[in-house]
Amino acid sequence: MRQLKLNKSGIIIPVMSLGTWAFGGDAIWGKTDEMQAIDTARRAVEMGIVQIDTAPAYGMGKSEEILGEALKGIRDKVILSTKCGLSWDEGNIGQLHVERDGHRIVRNLSAKSIRKDLENSLKRLKTEYIDIYYVHYPVFGTYAVPVEETMDELNRMKKEGKIRAIGASNMNPEVLNEYCTYADIEIIQEKYSLLDRKVEETLLPVCQERKILLQAYSPLEQGLLTGKVTMDTTYPEGSTRNTNPCFQPARRMQAIRLLDSWSDLCEKYHCTKAQLVIALTARMIPGLHVLCGARTPEQAIDNAGALHIALEGADAVQMKWDVDAIS
């Protein structure tokens, strides 16, 4: 299994990690089966997906609480990551991020706020340290604090041994460069899929220059690249898929035709379309890490199958040309 190494901390992670936003069971994902979620996390670790990613805002702490139970007895086998900067506490001030499930979630990166975020996460996750601690979103406007304040607090957390590495998420190149002025940013999460490759022109050059690992979330484009979505597939009102440009008719048709053209490759490699997409995505950018969500043990097992697909060079090149043709 291919592994990747963070530049400064030396943390080694597999090319794929488990995303647990769905564990939170908020308005986007619906009710969570907690025992199923626990089984999903443990099964992922058994299959070699030993980095698990979460965040306080995933279900207002619910995802972290579930992982705290799931990792009992196996914490030392897992590279655990969570995030800071989103708060829903009553009376907390900050830049409005979203209103969901009756909560007003705000962005706040003050030293005091992210320290509180960390201590709460450690309690929910039932751990003494976080391996990779991400800034979830930048803050702009009235509620922005100096980047130096945020980074100094994160550096203090590292010195205390409460976090091992600092990451960032949902950043533009300018903000990322500023963060790097005050701290060693070792990994960044950003949306990336075969249908949405903007990061190649925006963040990738900065990551390559600064030796920052790029982690792609939503590589299956909310399920569109699993091969299970048809032109007749509909989603309930409020679903983010309804506003995702990739799900609009013309782009959806391109995706369906692309996957259909790879049916012979699925037979060749004895894999599903989703597994083939994950395997190719991991090869699109040298050193790319893919973050794949799962709600059930079966989904985790299916995702893990992509780790064992060794695409032949000619196949990988042709598939990339196919993707380029619709980009």
Per-residue pLDDT reduced to its tens digit, 50-108: 999 999 999 999 999 999 999 999 999 999 999 999 998 767 789 999 888 788 899 99
**Considering the domain boundaries, does residue 50 fall inside one?**
yes
- If phi > 0 it is left, if psi is from -120 to 50 it is alpha, else beta; for residue 309 that is beta
Predicted TM-score of the model (pTM): 0.94
Per-residue pLDDT reduced to its tens digit, 100-113: 878 889 999 999 99
For residue 1, pLDDT over 70 is answered with no
**Considering the domain boundaries, does residue 265 fall inside one?**
no
**Considering the domain boundaries, does residue 141 fall inside one?**
yes
Which runs of E-coded beta strand occur in the chain? 3-5, 12-14, 16-19, 51-53, 79-84, 86-87, 95-100, 103-107, 130-135, 163-169, 185-191, 213-217, 289-293
**Considering the domain boundaries, does residue 233 fall inside one?**
no
**Considering the domain boundaries, does residue 323 fall inside one?**
no
What is the span of the domain harbouring residue 115? 3-221+274-312
Cβ–Cβ under 8 Å, residues 229 and 256? yes
Which CATH number does the domain housing residue 151 bear?
A: 3.20.20.100
Task: Count up the domains in the chain and report the number.
Answer: 1
| 58 is a catalytic site residue | yes
Phi first, then psi: what are they for 89, rounded to 5°? Answer: -60, 140
> Strand 103-107 vs strand 95-100: parallel, antiparallel, or unpaired?
antiparallel
Integer Cα distance of 171 and 182 in angstroms: 16
Catalytic residue among 58, 137, 179, 269: 58
Integer Cα distance of 157 and 266 in angstroms: 46
Record the tokens describing residue 149, joined without a space: 């304040």
Per-residue pLDDT reduced to its tens digit, 294-326: 999 999 999 999 989 999 999 999 999 999 999
Integer Cα distance of 112 and 120 in angstroms: 12
